[in-house]
Amino acid sequence: MKELRLMKGNEAISEAAIRAGVDGYFGYPITPQSEVLEYLMLEKPEERTGMVVLQAESEIAAINMVYAGAGAGKMVMTSSSSPGISLKQEGITYIAGAELPCMILNVVRGGPGLGTIQPAQSDYFQAVKGGGHGDYKLIVLAPASVQEMYDFVELSFDLAFKYRNPVMILSDGAIGQMMEKVEIGEQKVRLTDAQVKEKCPWATTGKDANRERNIITSLDLDSNKQELFNQKLQAKYKEVEANEVRYEEMETEDAEYIFVAYGTSARICQKSIELARAKGIKVGLLRPITLFPFPSKRLMELSKQVKGMLSVEMSAGQMIEDVKLAVECNIPVEHFGRMGGIIPSPGEVVEALEQKFL
Amino acid sequence: MAEKITNNDIVQEENLVYKKTDLLTDKSLSYCPGCGHGTAHRLVMEVIEELNAQEETIGIAPVGCSVLAYEFMDIDMQQAAHGRAPALATAIKRLYPEKYVFTYQGDGDLAAIGTAETIHACNRGENITIIFVNNGIYGMTGGQMAPTTLPGMKSSTSPYGRDVETMGSPLKMTELVAQLPGTYFVSRQAVHTPSAVRKAKKAIKKAFENQKLKKGLSFVEIVSNCNSGWKMTPNQSNKWMVDNMFPYYPLGDIKVPEE
Amino acid sequence: MAKVKGSIVVDIEKCKGCEVCMPACPQDVIRLAEEVNGKGYHYAHMANPDACIGCANCAIVCPDGVITVYRKKVDA
């Protein structure tokens, strides 16, 4: 019998983390994601699984705790919302530079600056283009439901450890706060220290006589070596692009137009498809599930079938750049979005489609 | 009358009194000639060797002159972003409560950019050891003013001397953290003379042994020289340190656990 | 009467000639060599070896850990 619960997206993340056998969560309160830490504190995961949960003094401290835990081979994560994620960028680039696995949840709110506490998708560039300094990439997952918030926790760690790369779940204030039915998975047992040592022979688990010391660092003062390292990173990202693209399509078979939207915007577009099709407009949806790697190949294929694409984002238009790059000017690509914490209505999206293409 | 003893007679394994610990790698230290960092590194490694804890210790290197500490210490280590070492140590200790975990930080790292991480790790009473090397200057970047630079002291960013009116007074982090309930043992030492080194080692050893008691954070400041930054010879800098740094940063235990 | 005789071995290539060992020596044994090592440093050596008592003071203040110390009891 499957266990079903009605949960907030933020709570689903926390329950999923406990059940996935995550070893440590380090966070700092910020709206609209504080339920992640609150739920964990309430659940006493140190009793349920031995998971460490710590409220840090800042987002900066929290991400550096994640860096250390990851460097020591443990499954560790943090969560925050946009302004806090900006603070975490220093730690994230170190994590990418030291090739460490971890999960970072961003429950995006409107910006720039302190912005608003309402949902937005204006951190797309920050998430998929690096965010901090240096040539690096995160693997970015974009959940569109509370169930996906739950499911992507384990997926994040699978990908993070497979590629030794930080993974970001790029959610938003709507998915974090809304309640939906969630199917809960089995409780997994946390790895023992001995299992961690075996799984992560590179980690700082204590130097025993059988191996050289392990060093976690992103520093190499020798530019030749640093370039080689960068090439290795780029090769890894190519491998990720080749193997890990995930997306979902709706009603694309006969579509003449395509909405490209992720997360909350994709949910809205589902309704927009209904409205548009009722008017006789053949429109479908491509929902990227991974924002990096981006489903460019599929968009290219679709560009040979459809007349235009509308990138629907709760931003001034960020993902549209990747859509345009993907279709290489085969067809017109337009943007529709609302900003500052406003969620567009399905009708507005259809109007935009009509205005721009019909 | 015995035969005259030759140097070769003395230099024999059975007569060995002192040699560099094997827990320091054979790599040449990247520090300037005469810099106290090397001695401080050695003491930490000697203590870990005496505790037989190579396998049980994880160290955190900072940003600053000792950024490459992991090149010299033959233990598992992580290199932290500037100032964040206590956050790293916190996480590792929480995830591996039975390991020895320490940070090794300079004064720019610990007392400027890492003030929040330092104070909060101390305040939470993390069962870690912080080794704080204070030479009153940013050495790595070329001798800029640090929070610990003395009043009137010249540096490349206080070329006319530190003016406390506009640049503030030197920050006594060690006295500050001693006020926090989370610190268990707080001491200030130096490594410029044999007796100072012996005392410093005792303090460092205690600071590591304390981790097993799980009673809070142990914090050892080592007031040290920066002959390059101070623009002196090593021995001149040690004398200057005694005459100028010690009055402001007096040596000795600041917080000792009640027996 | 037994007396001790000491000796030090300096890792010449790693010595940076900082002179910190010199004031630490109670017997005034150590001087910098006229010669330089591969890095161009005048390295520490025993200028007055007979006076060394193997107290290890030089080694414990040596920032680079380049001094190894030996000590032997000898008959006077």
Question: Do A217 and A68 contact (CB within 8 A), yes or no?
Answer: no
Question: Do B44 and B15 contact (CB within 8 A), yes or no?
Answer: no
* Residues pairing with A140 in the sheet: A168, A292
Hey, what are A118's tokens? 């309402």
**Can you give the pLDDT at residue A293?**
98
Q: What is the pLDDT of residues B206-220, one digit of tens each?
A: 999 999 999 999 999
DSSP B211: G
Give the span between the Cα atoms of A309 and A336, in whole angstroms.
10
Interface contact A67-B88, CB threshold 8 A: yes
Which CATH number applies to A249-357: 3.30.420.130, 3.40.50.300, 3.40.1280.10, 3.40.50.920?
Answer: 3.40.50.920
Quick check: B62 contacting C, CB < 8 Å? Answer: no
| Strand segments (E) across chain A | 3-8, 24-27, 52-55, 76-80, 102-108, 139-141, 166-172, 179-184, 215-216, 247-250, 257-260, 283-288, 290-292, 308-312, 333-336
CATH number of C2-75: 3.30.70.20
Give the span between the Cα atoms of A31 and A80, in whole angstroms.
8
**Can you give the pLDDT at residue C1?**
57
Q: What is the dihedral of CA B79, B80, B83, B84, to 10 degrees?
A: -140
Determine the 3-state secondary structure of B141 from DSSP.
Answer: coil
**Could you tell me the residue ranges of all domains in chain C?**
2-75
Residues 26-55 of B with CB under 8 A from C: 28-29, 31-39, 42
C40, exposed or middle or buried, with CB in 10 Å at 0-12, 13-18, 19+? Answer: exposed
Give the span between the Cα atoms of A40 and A43, in whole angstroms.
5
Q: In angstroms, what CA-CA distances link A102 with A74, A75, A161, B139?
A: 9, 6, 8, 33
Question: CATH 3.40.50.970 occupies which residues in chain A?
Answer: 3-194
Quick check: B173 contacting A, CB < 8 Å? Answer: no
What is the pairing mode between strands A290-292 and A139-141?
A: antiparallel
pLDDT band at B1 (very low <50, low <70, confident <90, very high): very low
Q: What is the pLDDT of residues A232-290, one digit of tens each?
A: 999 999 999 999 999 999 999 999 999 999 999 999 999 999 999 999 999 999 999 99
Q: Locate the chain B residue with the closest alpha carbon to A218.
A: B79
Best mutation target among B68, B92, B93 (most A Cβ atoms within 10 Å) is B92
Residues 91-110 of B with CB under 8 A from A: 91-92, 94-96, 99
Give the span between the Cα atoms of A212 and C52, in whole angstroms.
38
Question: Do A13 and A38 contact (CB within 8 A), yes or no?
Answer: no
What are the chain A neighbours of B73 within 8 Å (beta carbons)? 213
Give the span between the Cα atoms of A305 and A251, in whole angstroms.
13
Give the span between the Cα atoms of B97 and A276, in whole angstroms.
59
**Can you give the pLDDT at residue C49?**
95
Q: Select the residue of B70, B74, B116 nearest A61 (Cβ to Cβ).
A: B116
Q: Select the residue of C61, C67, C70 nearest B10 (Cβ to Cβ).
A: C70
What are the chain B neighbours of A65 within 8 Å (beta carbons)? 87-88, 90-91
Hey, what are A281's tokens? 């407009």
Q: Which residue stretches of chain B are H helix? A: 7-10, 36-50, 69-72, 85-95, 107-108, 115-124, 164-167, 173-178, 194-209, 227-230, 234-240, 246-248
**What is the average pLDDT value for chain C, to the nearest integer?**
95
What are the chain A neighbours of B75 within 8 Å (beta carbons)? 206-207, 213
**What is the average pLDDT value for chain B, to the nearest integer?**
96
pLDDT band at B258 (very low <50, low <70, confident <90, very high): confident
**Can you give the pLDDT at residue B164?**
97
Q: Tell which wins on pLDDT, C74 or A260.
A: A260
Q: What is the pLDDT of residues A283-342, one digit of tens each?
A: 999 999 999 999 999 999 999 999 999 999 999 999 999 999 999 999 999 999 999 999
Quick check: B6 contacting C, CB < 8 Å? Answer: no
Give the span between the Cα atoms of B69 and B189, in whole angstroms.
20
* Residues pairing with B221 in the sheet: B132, B188
Give the span between the Cα atoms of A111 and B171, in whole angstroms.
36
Determine the 3-state secondary structure of B127 from DSSP.
Answer: coil
Interface contact C69-B18, CB threshold 8 A: yes
Interface contact C61-B194, CB threshold 8 A: yes
Interface contact B99-A58, CB threshold 8 A: no
What domains are defined for chain B?
Answer: 31-157+166-255 (3.40.50.970)
Q: What is the pLDDT of residues A49-64, one digit of tens each?
A: 999 999 999 999 999 9
Q: What is the pLDDT of residues A82-111, one digit of tens each?
A: 999 999 999 999 999 999 999 999 999 999
What is the radius of gyration, based on Cα positions, of chain C? 12
Quick check: B49 contacting A, CB < 8 Å? Answer: no
Q: Select the residue of B2, B18, B234 nearest C18 (Cβ to Cβ).
A: B234
Q: Which chains does chain C touch, 3 or more C-beta pairs < 8 A?
A: B
Q: Provide the ipTM.
A: 0.96
Asked if pLDDT for residue B134 goes beyond 90, the answer is yes
**Can you give the pLDDT at residue A1?**
66
% of chain B residues with pLDDT over 90:
96
Mean pLDDT of A158-177: 98
With touching defined as 3 or more inter-chain CB pairs under 8 Å, the answer for chains A and C is no
DSSP B242: I
- Please give the full DSSP string across A205-232, using - where no structure is assigned: S---TTSPPPEE------HHHHHHHHHH
Quick check: B16 contacting C, CB < 8 Å? Answer: yes
Asked if pLDDT for residue C61 goes beyond 80, the answer is yes
Among A231, A9, A204, residue whose Cα is nearest residue A106: A9
Interface contact B95-A71, CB threshold 8 A: no
Interface contact B89-A215, CB threshold 8 A: no
> Helix crossing, A9-19 with A146-163: angle to 10°?
40
B123 CB-near residues (< 8 Å, 6+ apart): B180, B181, B182
Instruction: Domain A3-194: state its class.
Output: alpha beta
Q: Locate the chain B residue with the closest alpha carbon to A74.
A: B95
Mean pLDDT of B174-186: 98
Best mutation target among C4, C45, C55, C61 (most B Cβ atoms within 10 Å) is C61
Best mutation target among B45, B67, B73, B84 (most A Cβ atoms within 10 Å) is B84
Is pTM beyond 0.95 here?
yes
Interface contact B18-C41, CB threshold 8 A: no
**Can you give the pLDDT at residue C76?**
60
What are the chain B neighbours of C62 within 8 Å (beta carbons)? 38-39
Quick check: B23 contacting C, CB < 8 Å? Answer: no
Question: Do C70 and B11 contact (CB within 8 A), yes or no?
Answer: yes
Among A34, A91, A93, A39, residue whose Cα is nearest residue A62: A91
Hey, what are A343's tokens? 């969620």
Quick check: B12 contacting C, CB < 8 Å? Answer: yes
What are the chain B neighbours of C24 within 8 Å (beta carbons)? 193-194
| Strand segments (E) across C1-76 | 2-10, 30-36, 42-46, 67-75
Quick check: B90 contacting A, CB < 8 Å? Answer: yes
